[in-house]
Structure 1
């Protein structure tokens, strides 16, 4: 293969165009996997990169297992941490918000380079004072009883508010509006599970179903989230169509869903008594393709913590983690099992392989480019999603780096976003590089997708050689 400069270029452009031709040759050679001498006019020798598939790490950002805030740092790789707050921690009066407790969570998690999954709740077994005091003092009725649906923990006293109370309803929707105005798209915030209603904010008051919020109240909460969070993904606990007897129709909304009994009550068993399981409800609501546009998350059920990654099932009710992952297209799951104690080497190895297959996995499968008549260079790079789900977040964009003597010589911003490339599909991105300021020397062209959160983990490609610290992948090397 030869790359020949046009003979009639003006002498004062020769040096610039020589580099651009070099870059064009580099990118074409990356495509062919060949090392050749360039024409004498370029005086360059190229060593193109090889693109070899290698699954991305288990702690790639915005996917994988999610421990509670402040876990043991060395037991299992992770990129997110979970914590939640009572509504009373933020709402101090009608339209009065104190964000300090929420900021403390976000900043503490971010200090470790991680992003936060969160939820706000109004009732929690064993806790008092989670309902804002001014609402109770204003006449809100509160039901106090022993909650027996607390396994694997003992029954505990709980306070369930009257969800039909007009003042509470306005406080909830006003809070969601204020929350979204302040935090929608905040790079520290990975996912929100809708919360607000039910035990732990998990949208049920079982076994006291008579205390559950009406469909009208549920719709008010969903409408508020839909209006207020247009960037940060919001996930609901229970999928429901228009004929659901307990839940309002959630199909018109953009939300994802979270299965909080993952690998235990996820898959369809065919038994009528198991119709409440997550995937049967997704199918009944005709939401089995929702993962293509919104994330699927959840929590591994406590009964199968840790052991869901073992070769043999740990309980009779266990369901295959791998099958649950692939059927639901899960991107992230809250988990305590891999962090509560040091896992065995076999469990750890099996878990890493299983978690690597969650969510997205982007491989660079092609790179190309050519010098343009105006002295610029066009670069095109193809990303293929080898995972089981898209990348759902706004605000992430690729950069091209020219590296000289191990340092970034030039950084080229692009509008290349990895969002919504479905599994098995590819997308080719293009950019134009003005290389007029590049001097003689040794160069590499690299691709990186940095985390928009300061200090956050970068996205690493499913290619051998994607740097563990920066995520950068070398597209090729050349000497000018």
Structure 2
């Protein structure tokens, strides 16, 4: 597949590349002074000629990208306006390919991406073959060729023979084509690997013998890792050689079987695989267990077996994003439940806070910290802009809360002096978000000569 054939992707990609181009152009204008800037802590002994202190304000980040709760619009339209920046799509493989090397992305995935983008959402995608209680997602060209095994658990369904060579070839061909067309497309927040097992969750319990062997699991994982060098990937649990690959995890029974001493629970599996620090590199996602979505924020919620404390689970896993469809479809029955759900959404992912900005000579020093449980994962730039539109930028490292407050320096020799009437504005920029999205600081904007977007 040729990326250039997809005009929507090309236009979106071009707009993102323009952001990076603008950043580099402004850096070039500041020549050696910007080259001397770095994303390292510095100590300046002189007194600042201007200093501004800021206050923390987490609530303004409710619609920040790549974090929070989200829903699946194919299940139902939301009945409440819950703040979010993501949405979910299960898509059967039968909708995505019509032959061994023929793919129908333009009529299956592309409409979902366009609809999500129109709602200022990035998409979390999971392709599947076997979704219990639904019609099989096996592509038509494999119908009659691949043996299907009937089961009654989980609502019943048909599980394909994952040892079938034609099915295996189709899966690997699909992965390659999907990555060739969509890797780096900012409309895709995450691709959940799916494809294998019930719901694409990499198990066929209680029919464990039906699941493919470790060698083919590794083939699928490595095919995804090769096809997607930019877009983030997640799989249900640590399997095969996944810990050696650029792949994260999603807990689809969040707060139900996340923490504890049982070996198949999500976090114990990560610890056993020495993957409990994977959150530092790739976002952790999943789904708040459906049975808990209507209860976990109620006054009467009592923790126990399969009813875990939501905050404890977030802190342990460092989760960034969770599917929670019932929050959008009437599962919140009171104002206090809604407030708790919104607070829970804000507890997910990153919260980048500017505590101080100070001018020393031709440099602006910005004190920045992440008060969230996880970093902002893609490349991100700190930018200051004067009232004439001149900018200075510096690329930030991946910040985590355990690093504390860090100071970053930007060259401001080309910027006019700030004032309350003509203030400077601090902002965050990334080419991995939609043009309609903003990464807001968890910081009150202020009214001084230096403010935040």
Short-chain TM bin:
0.7 to 0.9
How many pairs are equivalent? 401
5+ residue gaps, structure 1: 1-30, 39-45, 150-154, 241-247, 372-376, 404-408, 467-472
Q: Aligned-pair distance for 1:263?
A: 0.8
Q: Tell whether 2:283 aligns with 1:299.
A: no
Alignment match, 2:55: 52
Matches within 5 A, 1:182-331: 182-240=181-239, 248-268=240-260, 270=261, 274-313=262-301, 316=304, 317-331=306-320
Q: 1:397 to 1:73 in 2, by over 3 A?
A: farther
Aligned to 2:133: 126
Q: Specify which of 355, 363, 378 is matched with residue 393 of structure 1.
A: 378
Match of 1:77 in 2: 83
CA drift of 1:421 comes to 3.8
Q: Secondary structure at the match of 2:222?
A: helix
8 A contact 1:387–1:423 mirrored in 2: no
User: Whole-Å Cα distance in 2 between the matches of residues 440 and 363 of structure 1?
Assistant: 22
Aligned equivalents of 1:284, 1:96: Cα separation in 2: 40
Q: For the residues of structure 1 that align with 2:427 and 2:242, how far apart are their CA atoms?
A: 37
8 Å CA contact retained: 1:363, 1:385: yes
- Partner of residue 102 from structure 1, selected from 89, 109, 118: 109
What is the SS of the residue equivalent to 1:388? coil
Q: Kindly tell me: are residues 228 and 382 of structure 1, through their superposed partners in 2, closer, same or farther at Cα, counting changes over 3 Å? A: farther
Structure of higher RCO (CA pairs closer than 8 Å, 6+ residues apart): 2
Determine if contact 2:53/2:357 at 8 Å carries over to the other structure: no
TM-superposed CA distance for 1:397, in Å, is: 2.7
> How much has 1:439 moved relative to structure 2?
12
What is the CA–CA distance in structure 1 between the aligned matches of 2:420 and 2:291, rounded to whole Å?
60
Change (3 A) 1:439 1:385: closer
In structure 1, what is the equivalent of residue 358 of structure 2? 368
Unaligned runs of 5+ in 2: 1-43
* CA deviations over 1:351-379 (Å, ceiling 9, x no partner): 222221211110112323344xxxxx333
Give the Å deviation of 1:177.
1.5
Contact 1:75 1:338 survives alignment (8 Å): no
SS at 2:386's partner residue?
Answer: strand
CA contact (8 A) 1:416 1:429 kept: no
1:180 maps to which residue?
179
SS at match of 1:251: helix
Structure 1 residues 334 and 450 mapped into 2: Cα distance closer, same or farther (>3 Å)?
A: same
**Cα distance in structure 2, aligned partners of 1:289 and 1:108:** 34
1:292–1:420 CA contact under 8 A, matched in 2: no
**Secondary structure at the counterpart of residue 443 of structure 1:** coil
Shift of 1:389: 0.9
Select the structure that is richer in helix: 2
Tell me the alpha carbon deviations over residues 274-328 of structure 1, each in whole angstroms, 9 at most, x when there is no partner. Answer: 3211111111112222212222111011111131122432675310001111111
Can you list the C-alpha shifts for 1:395-426, whole angstroms capped at 9, x where unaligned?
x43332223xxxxx314262424634454434
**Corresponding position of 2:15:** none
Tell whether the 8 Å contact from 1:362 to 1:461 is kept in structure 2 after alignment.
yes
* Matched-pair contact (CA < 8 Å) for 1:399–1:411: no
Instruction: Measure the CA separation in 2 of the matches of 1:380 and 1:439.
Output: 14
Moved more, 191-200 or 288-297: 288-297
Q: Distance in 1 between matches of 2:416 and 2:354?
A: 27
- Three-state SS of the structure 2 residue aligned to 1:337 is helix
The Cα offsets for residues 53-78 of structure 1, whole Å up to 9 and x where unpaired, read as 12253332110111112742634211
User: Per-residue deviation at 1:393?
Assistant: 2.0
Across the aligned residues of Structure 1 and Structure 2, the Cα RMSD in angstroms comes to 2.9
Q: Which residue matches 1:356?
A: 346
Secondary structure at the residue paired with 2:123?
strand
1:361 touches 1:461 (CA, 8 Å); kept in 2?
yes
